[in-house]
Structure 1
Amino acid sequence: MAKLRYLIFISFALFASACSNTKYLAANQKLYTGGEVKIVDKDIKKSDAKELKGNLEALLRPIPNASILGLRVKLWIYNKTRTNKRTGLRHYLNTHFGEPPVLVSNVDLEKNSGILQNRLQNVSYFLAQVNGDTVSKGKTAKAVYTVQAGPSYHYRSITFPTQKNDLDTAVTGTSAQTFLKVGDKYNLDIIKNERVRIDARLKEEGFFYFAPEDLIMRYDSTVANHQIDMFVKVKDATPDEARWIYKIRNIYVYPQYSLRDTGTKLDSAVKYRWYNVIDPKNTVRPFTFKNSVLLHPGDVYNRTQHNSSLNRMINLGPFKYVKNRFEDVTPDSAFLDVYYQLTQYKRKSLSLDLLARQTSANYNGSQVNLNFRNRNTFKGAELFTVTLFASTDIQFGSNNNGYNVYQTGIQPSISWPRFISPFNFTTNNAFIPHTVLTTGYTLINRTKLYTLNSFNGSFGYSWKPSLHKQHDLNLINITYVDAASVSKIYMDSIKHTRNPALAHVINNQFTFGPSYGYTYTNTTEDYRTNTFYYNGKVSMSGNLYGILTGADTLRGKVSKLFGTPFNQYVKLENEFRFFHKLTPGIKFASRLLVGVGLPYGNSTVLPYSQQFFIGGPNSLRGFQARSIGPGAYNLPPSLTPGSNFLADESGDIKIEANAEFRPKLFSIVEGALFVDAGNIWLLRPNKFQPGAAFGSNFINQMAVDAGFGLRFDLTVLILRTDIGFPLIKPSLPASLRTTINGIDFTDAKWRGSNYIFNLAIGYPF
Structure 2
Amino acid sequence: MNRHFAKISLFFLSLLFLISCNAVKRVEGDDKLLTSNEIFVNNEKIKESRIYNQLYQEPNTSFLGIPLRLHFYNLARPDIDSILSEKYLKNESKKNTLTNILSYKQFEKLLHSKKSLNEWIKSTGEAPVIVSKEETQKSVNRLNSWYWNNGWFNVETNYEITPSNKKKKRAHVTYNVTTGEAYQLDSITTSISSKVLDSLYELHRDKSIIKEGMQYKTLDINEERDRLTSLFRNSGVYNFDQEYISFNADTINTGKKVNTTLIIKNRFASETDTSSRVPFKIHEISKVNIFTDYKYANRNQTLTDSITTEDGYTLYSFEKQRYKPQAITDAVFIKPGNTYSDISRSRTYNRLNSLRIFKYPNVQFTPDPADSTRSDLIANIFLTPQPKYSLGFDFDVSQSNIQKFGIGFGGSLLIRNVFKGAENFEISGRGSIGSSTDAAISGNDDRFFDISEIGADLKLTFPRIFLPINTDRFIPKYMQPFTSLSLGVSTQNNIGLDKRNLTGILNYRWNPSSKLSNRLDFLNIQYVRNLNIDNYFNVYRNSYNDLNQIIQSGNIVTNPSYLNSEGLLSIPTGAENFIRDISNNTGGTTGLNQDQKRLVNNIGERKKRLTENNLIFATNYTYLWNTKKNLYDQEFTRFRFKIETAGNVLSAISSLADFTKNENGTYSVLGVNYSQYVKTELDFIKHWDLGRDNIFAFRAFGGVAIPYGNANSIPFVRSFFAGGPNDNRAWRAYDLGPGSSGGRNEFNEANMKLALNAEYRYNLFGSLNSAVFIDVGNIWNVLDIVEDEKATFESFADLKNIAIGSGFGLRYDFNFFVLRFDIGFKTYDPALPEGNRWLRDYNFNHAVYNVGINYPF
Kindly provide the amino acid, as one letter, of the partner of residue 252 in structure 1. Answer: N
Shift of 1:104: 3.5
2:24 match: secondary structure: helix
Partner of 2:128: 101
Partner of 1:655: 753
CA separation in 2, counterparts of 1:111 and 1:762?
38
Q: 1:621 to 1:119 in 2, by over 3 A?
A: closer
2:707 match: secondary structure: strand
CA separation in 1, counterparts of 2:525 and 2:125?
57
Q: Kindly indicate whether residue 423 of structure 2 is the aligned counterpart of residue 382 of structure 1.
A: yes
Partner of 1:587: 696
Q: Kindly indicate whether residue 325 of structure 2 is the aligned counterpart of residue 286 of structure 1.
A: yes
CA separation in 2, counterparts of 1:102 and 1:261?
59
CA separation in 2, counterparts of 1:86 and 1:631?
60
Aligned partners of 1:61 and 1:107 also within 8 Å: no
Aligned partners of 1:220 and 1:229 also within 8 Å: yes
Q: State the TM-score, normalized to the length of structure 2.
A: 0.77
Partner of 1:476: 523
Q: 1:393 to 1:302 in 2, by over 3 A?
A: farther
Q: Kindly indicate whether residue 428 of structure 2 is the aligned counterpart of residue 433 of structure 1.
A: no
CA separation in 2, counterparts of 1:729 and 1:276?
69
Q: Kindly indicate whether residue 342 of structure 2 is the aligned counterpart of residue 303 of structure 1.
A: yes
Is the deviation greater in 6-15 or in 158-167? 6-15
Partner of 1:675: 775
Q: 1:519 to 1:512 in 2, by over 3 A?
A: same
Partner of 1:87: 113
Q: 1:533 to 1:241 in 2, by over 3 A?
A: farther
Q: 1:610 to 1:412 in 2, by over 3 A?
A: same
Kindly provide the amino acid, as one letter, of the partner of residue 806 in structure 2. Answer: G
Partner of 2:645: 539
1:537 match: secondary structure: strand
Alignment of 1:351-500 (within 5 A): 351-356=392-397, 365-392=406-433, 406-426=452-472, 427-428=475-476, 430-447=478-495, 449-488=496-535, 489-490=537-538, 492=572, 498-500=603-605
Cα displacement string for residues 522-551 of structure 1 (whole angstroms, at most 9, x for unaligned residues):
344898977241221213133323333456
1:66 match: secondary structure: coil
Shift of 1:337: 0.9
Cα displacement string for residues 444-491 of structure 1 (whole angstroms, at most 9, x for unaligned residues):
1244x4332222222221112223332222232232333444445445
Cα displacement string for residues 673-707 of structure 1 (whole angstroms, at most 9, x for unaligned residues):
213222221533457x5654443376157341212
Shift of 1:230: 0.5
Kindly provide the amino acid, as one letter, of the partner of residue 280 in structure 1. Answer: F
1:278 match: secondary structure: strand
1:625 paired residue among 729, 733, 742: 733
2:295 paired residue among 258, 264, 268: 258
2:317 match: secondary structure: coil
CA separation in 2, counterparts of 1:697 and 1:34?
46
2:461 match: secondary structure: strand
Is the deviation greater in 283-292 or in 62-71? 62-71
Cα displacement string for residues 692-738 of structure 1 (whole angstroms, at most 9, x for unaligned residues):
44433761573412121324133222323333344555555xx4474
Shift of 1:109: 5.0
Partner of 2:837: 739
Shift of 1:672: 2.5
Aligned partners of 2:236 and 2:340 also within 8 Å: yes
Q: Kindly indicate whether residue 762 of structure 2 is the aligned counterpart of residue 664 of structure 1.
A: yes
CA separation in 2, counterparts of 1:74 and 1:285?
61
Q: 1:703 to 1:112 in 2, by over 3 A?
A: closer
Shift of 1:246: 0.9
1:24 paired residue among 1, 26, 30: 26
Q: 1:222 to 1:58 in 2, by over 3 A?
A: same
1:216 match: secondary structure: strand
Kindly provide the amino acid, as one letter, of the partner of residue 490 in structure 2. Answer: T
2:730 match: secondary structure: coil
Aligned partners of 2:304 and 2:317 also within 8 Å: no
2:465 match: secondary structure: coil
Q: 1:527 to 1:385 in 2, by over 3 A?
A: closer
Q: Kindly indicate whether residue 617 of structure 2 is the aligned counterpart of residue 512 of structure 1.
A: yes
Partner of 2:853: 761
CA separation in 1, counterparts of 2:643 and 2:136?
59
Aligned partners of 2:698 and 2:759 also within 8 Å: yes
Q: 1:396 to 1:483 in 2, by over 3 A?
A: closer
CA separation in 1, counterparts of 2:621 and 2:266?
57
Alignment of 1:560-599 (within 5 A): 560-561=668-669, 563-579=670-686, 581=688, 583-584=690-691, 585-599=694-708
Partner of 2:314: 276
Partner of 2:98: none
Aligned partners of 2:56 and 2:136 also within 8 Å: no
Is the deviation greater in 462-471 or in 545-554? 545-554
Cα displacement string for residues 229-259 of structure 1 (whole angstroms, at most 9, x for unaligned residues):
1011212565566610111111111222222
Q: 1:121 to 1:464 in 2, by over 3 A?
A: closer
Alignment of 1:142-221 (within 5 A): 142-143=172-173, 147=177, 149-161=179-191, 165-221=195-251
1:605 match: secondary structure: coil
Kindly provide the amino acid, as one letter, of the partner of residue 205 in structure 1. Answer: S
2:294 match: secondary structure: coil
Q: 1:34 to 1:695 in 2, by over 3 A?
A: closer
Kindly provide the amino acid, as one letter, of the partner of residue 568 in structure 1. Answer: S
Identical amino acids, percent of aligned pairs: 20
Kindly provide the amino acid, as one letter, of the partner of residue 284 in structure 2. Answer: K
2:340 match: secondary structure: coil
Is the deviation greater in 3-12 or in 428-437? 3-12
Structure with higher Rg: it is: 2
Kindly provide the amino acid, as one letter, of the partner of residue 507 in structure 2. Answer: G
Q: 1:250 to 1:606 in 2, by over 3 A?
A: same
CA separation in 2, counterparts of 1:122 and 1:549?
74
CA separation in 1, counterparts of 2:316 and 2:655?
55
Aligned partners of 1:162 and 1:172 also within 8 Å: no
Is the deviation greater in 754-763 or in 720-729? 720-729
Aligned partners of 1:621 and 1:705 also within 8 Å: no
2:55 paired residue among 55, 60, 80: 60
2:113 match: secondary structure: coil
Cα displacement string for residues 593-621 of structure 1 (whole angstroms, at most 9, x for unaligned residues):
221131432x4433332233333333333
CA separation in 2, counterparts of 1:723 and 1:399?
31
Kindly provide the amino acid, as one letter, of the partner of residue 420 in structure 1. Answer: F
* Count of aligned pairs: 734
Aligned partners of 1:429 and 1:465 also within 8 Å: no
Aligned partners of 2:183 and 2:215 also within 8 Å: yes
Q: Kindly indicate whether residue 814 of structure 2 is the aligned counterpart of residue 722 of structure 1.
A: no
Is the deviation greater in 523-532 or in 543-552? 523-532
Q: State the TM-score, normalized to the length of structure 1.
A: 0.85
CA separation in 2, counterparts of 1:114 and 1:697?
56
Q: Structure 1 regions of 5+ residues with no counterpart? A: 637-645, 746-750
Aligned partners of 1:517 and 1:535 also within 8 Å: yes
CA separation in 2, counterparts of 1:230 and 1:238?
25
Q: 1:151 to 1:605 in 2, by over 3 A?
A: closer
Is the deviation greater in 235-244 or in 202-211? 235-244
Shift of 1:183: 2.8
Cα displacement string for residues 37-73 of structure 1 (whole angstroms, at most 9, x for unaligned residues):
555x57xxx5xx848x865643333554333344321
Shift of 1:589: 0.3
Q: 1:364 to 1:715 in 2, by over 3 A?
A: farther
Q: Kindly indicate whether residue 607 of structure 2 is the aligned counterpart of residue 502 of structure 1.
A: yes
